[in-house]
Chain A
């Protein structure tokens, strides 16, 4: 059974200076009311006596009007006052609105509106847990409420417009020194007004939530705000992060799986190779069907090409198992004082032998500096080595690249978003 209670009533009064109608919607912590018609600042704790007048006030564009009610975070608030702040930096003016909202259950909050962005802030008693001062430089890190914040800006601003109820007695051109730090979607602010320092906790509110909460049609902003969170569809985010994890796993797998094998034969071929061909010493195949790697290295190949007809033959050199034609070319020089090179002096090929046994390599070679093979072309030394137990892991590497490509759009988008958030700073860094 409910207790017997009296109903609250909306208080209305006439401005003691101009007679304009004033409606009181705030609670008992309201200290002053600024008449929207004449700019008189009235003392709500002393019979609405005139404290002072705000002169030459020019009402700015206001997407929300005093008296508007709406839900934020599921709590019903009423707009009871509004302030416009102005800041001058490098000859440019920056202006933003701060609406004072009141809820009988949750007290007073500030709804800040700048460049089409909305941030809901309220005073807290949580002081920063690590060292930070109101003048700390940009990107200084500190902790508050177990979150790590980065200083976004600190500056001095002044009040350029006031209307409605306030929880203190604002003055014409009153100056505030502030520090805004971000941990999207949260903001932590330190404000200094005279000798009083206050701490505020803020959260970015999407245009969609503002429009739904206050039944208005505010437009999506084109810029990125300091504490705006990076928002994409949860599925896209989950898939992208999953793809990044998968790419890391496949890369680890590649290093675990791939192997360059162990040497089973090394042979140094002489000039005979280019005359009549030459046969290597024997090498043994213990694991039929496994992958072998053959490296042909021509250390003295320079500004020329060479072709090698490499054949795997049996021990008696009577049966040819297969042929591996191999071409190498290497050119280098200086152009405009800069060194350049193209091609390589080493090439690796792979093969499998289906049966165990002892085998040799029969190699014929030719080469030249022009298009046709040159008579008597030779290289002083061609080294050939064979390794067994080679594991390439090419498929794993392919999956790594594919996963990385799948993850890339999300992270590129994220980096561009963060770049826009800290844009001024990047310019400073430059």
Chain B
């Protein structure tokens, strides 16, 4: 059953979609709120996202081959030369994943739960190879990003202008792997690069 929450800033009614979001961005006033004890607490304004047409829209349903999913939130990161959106999506089975979109470059990824030993950020370079789960993965990007905006429901606390280092890797059969070097520790995401022309609205 959908849970209704009230925006502490403007009083707008927000429908909670995912099971345990930590952050909601009010679609009416753009206020970022933390969800604590079933109540929203105002922690300030989220950056305004530029209204550039996107392949996804919040709360619509899309299909990639047999997988159906609905974006419920997104975070935008700036990486100097440009920016990309990380869409927080909910699959038909309720499972949540991340879909990163950078001008037609799309990767679907999930958080890797098991602890992986990865080299420190400084020791990695573009073109280098890492063996991850016995798969040969090539580093295709190494960069630092800044969170510049958010929208909808998110599973973690977003802090505007927070920065972290990351590397993107490409493996066989379009497999993708991302290592994020955040202040709280290293997070790894694994998934697959997909062709935007294979995504359709369901």
Which A residues contact B (CB, under 8 angstroms)? 1-8, 27-29, 45, 73, 102-108, 122, 124-127, 201
Which size bracket describes the interface of B in this complex?
A: 20 to 34
Which B residues contact A (CB, under 8 angstroms)? 12, 25, 27-30, 48-55, 58, 81-83, 102-105, 151-152, 170, 172-174, 193, 195-197
Given A28-B81, A125-B193, A104–B105 Cβ distance below 8 Å?
Answer: no
The CA of A353 and the CA of B152, in the complex, are separated in Å by: 93
The closest CB in chain A to the CB of B30 belongs to: A4
Least CB distance from A125 to B in Å reads: 5
The CA of A4 and the CA of B26, in the complex, are separated in Å by: 9
Neighbouring A residues of B172 by C-beta, 8 Å = 127
The closest CB in chain A to the CB of B175 belongs to: A125
Query: Do residues B81 and A5 form an inter-chain contact, with CB atoms below 8 A?
Result: no
Query: Do residues A105 and B55 form an inter-chain contact, with CB atoms below 8 A?
Result: yes
The CA of A105 and the CA of B29, in the complex, are separated in Å by: 25
Query: Do residues A201 and B196 form an inter-chain contact, with CB atoms below 8 A?
Result: no
Partner of A124, one of B25, B50, B195: B195
Query: Do residues B197 and A106 form an inter-chain contact, with CB atoms below 8 A?
Result: yes
Neighbouring A residues of B81 by C-beta, 8 Å = 28-29, 45
The closest CB in chain B to the CB of A72 belongs to: B197
Least CB distance from A26 to B in Å reads: 9
Least CB distance from B139 to A in Å reads: 14
The closest CB in chain A to the CB of B28 belongs to: A1
Neighbouring A residues of B48 by C-beta, 8 Å = 4-6
Query: Do residues B27 and A1 form an inter-chain contact, with CB atoms below 8 A?
Result: yes
Question: Can you list 13 residue pairs at the A/B interface with Cβ under 8 Å?
Answer: A1-B27, A4-B30, A5-B49, A6-B51, A45-B81, A73-B197, A104-B54, A104-B103, A105-B55, A107-B103, A107-B104, A126-B173, A127-B172
The closest CB in chain A to the CB of B29 belongs to: A4
Neighbouring B residues of A4 by C-beta, 8 Å = 29-30, 48
Given A104-B103, A106-B104, A122–B54 Cβ distance below 8 Å?
Answer: no
A-B CB proximity, top 10 nearest = A107-B104, A28-B82, A5-B51, A105-B55, A107-B103, A106-B196, A125-B193, A104-B53, A27-B103, A1-B27
Given A5-B49, A27-B103, A125–B27 Cβ distance below 8 Å?
Answer: no
Neighbouring B residues of A3 by C-beta, 8 Å = 25, 27, 30, 49, 58, 151-152
